[in-house]
Chains A and B, each alone.
Chain A
Amino acid sequence: MESLWAFSPVFALFINAASQIVYYRFTDNKSLLKSVFIGFISGAAALLLMEYRYMVGHYSYPSYFIVSVSAYAALGYCYFHFINLGETARRIRLLMELYGYGEGLAEDELLRCYNAGNIIEKRIGRLVKSGQIVHKNGRYYIGNPVMLHISRIITFFKLLIMGKRSEFD
């Protein structure tokens, strides 16, 4: 039984995913981000319930609790990234384009299905809508600098881990 309780972060992750999918599928207001948040909270609530049932009488519990909650948070983060990959990752989009063509696609055919123009249109649209960049008189300017700060943090980690600012360096 103790071994089973140790898997509580995994059970909580299943509840996270199930809640997220059900919420998104069956609500009219299709907000993917909101569904991710609701899924995460549902899983966290389930985890707390499971851990509460276990904690009575276990003296080394505080350490177990922190380990379980941390593991669930990390798994939740992984699940969020899985969803994000499906939404924004170029490799995944390329795979999905190729999936539809069993006989394969030449590079120019592949780029006709999915290209820089598609990517720019989507992302610029998002950045302008959120105010991160401003489009005025045919020129782009930085608006709200949140994304710029995130870019700088990621560039710092690239330098720290990979020793370069860009994959093209």
Chain B
Amino acid sequence: MNLLFFASGLFLAAFVIHIIIWKMRPPIHQKSVLLIIFSLVLLAGTFAFRGAFPEHIRLWLFYISFSLAYIITYSAIEADSPSLTMVMAIAKAGSDGLSEEVFKSKINDETLLTPRIKDLLSEGLAHVEGSKYRLTRKGILTASIFILYRKMLGREQKGG
């Protein structure tokens, strides 16, 4: 059980450090800082763990898979989900319901898309040239992965 406790403890340590830093002062580039925290904790854990090489591999796989799962979940928590925003807006209206006009005034390009376009810029996936948005190499690579995956599935319809 040594490996299991160590691996779980390591992930928990990274999580606690992340929460402490976020409570003190949330960073601007949150995902980058998350990656740094989780990477540094893994490095420290690798040196601290006394085990054979195969045990190290299991430790890394466990820790990396849980870290990735958390960072992905964090991205979902960070940005307001449109579906959940819609449901909350309707719930707030109570038993009277929410009219279509008021609904569309609350849920529009400014709330749903402008922040995401800004995210593309801050994450280095796109840049502005003149008045136009263009993908960076990182953006092209990211888009290519998803386009390739959809081609493999034979899925024509775009997501979003």
Residue positions of A touching B, CB distance < 8 A: 2-3, 5-7, 9-10, 21, 24-25, 32, 60, 62-64, 66-68, 70-72, 74-75, 77-78, 81-83, 85-99, 102-107, 110-111, 114-116, 118-120, 122-124, 126-127, 132-133, 136, 138-142, 147-148, 150-151, 154-155, 157-158, 161-163, 166-168
Contact = CB atoms under 8 A, between A and B. Distances in A.
A95 B133 contact: no
Given A104-B133, A120-B104, A94 B117 contact: yes
Contact of A161 (B19, B80, B144, B153): B19
Nearest to B5: A63
A112 to B, nearest CB: 11
A163 B133 CA distance: 32
Given A7-B57, A74-B68, A141 B132 contact: no
B149 interface: yes
Given A75-B65, A139-B98, 15 more contacts: A9-B61, A9-B65, A72-B65, A83-B149, A86-B146, A94-B126, A99-B147, A105-B133, A116-B107, A142-B87, A150-B84, A158-B77, A161-B77, A167-B115, A168-B80
A157 B153 contact: no
A107 B117 contact: yes
A102 B1 CA distance: 54
B49 interface: no
B36 interface: no
B142 interface: yes
15 contacts: A2-B54, A72-B65, A74-B62, A74-B65, A78-B68, A92-B159, A99-B147, A110-B133, A114-B158, A115-B109, A116-B108, A124-B86, A155-B88, A161-B19, A162-B78
B71 to A, nearest CB: 9
Contact of B84 (A7, A126, A151): A151
Contacts of B152: 21, 25
B132 A104 contact: yes
A106 B150 CA distance: 26
Given A3-B57, A68-B58, A78-B65, A94 B83 contact: no
A6 B87 contact: no
Contact of B57 (A6, A86, A126): A6
A97 B86 CA distance: 24
A63 B4 contact: yes
Given A24-B153, A98-B135, A151-B88, A93 B97 contact: no
B90 interface: yes
B3 A67 contact: yes
Nearest to A72: B65
A148 B147 contact: no
4 closest A-B pairs by CB: A93-B160, A104-B132, A139-B97, A74-B65
B33 interface: no
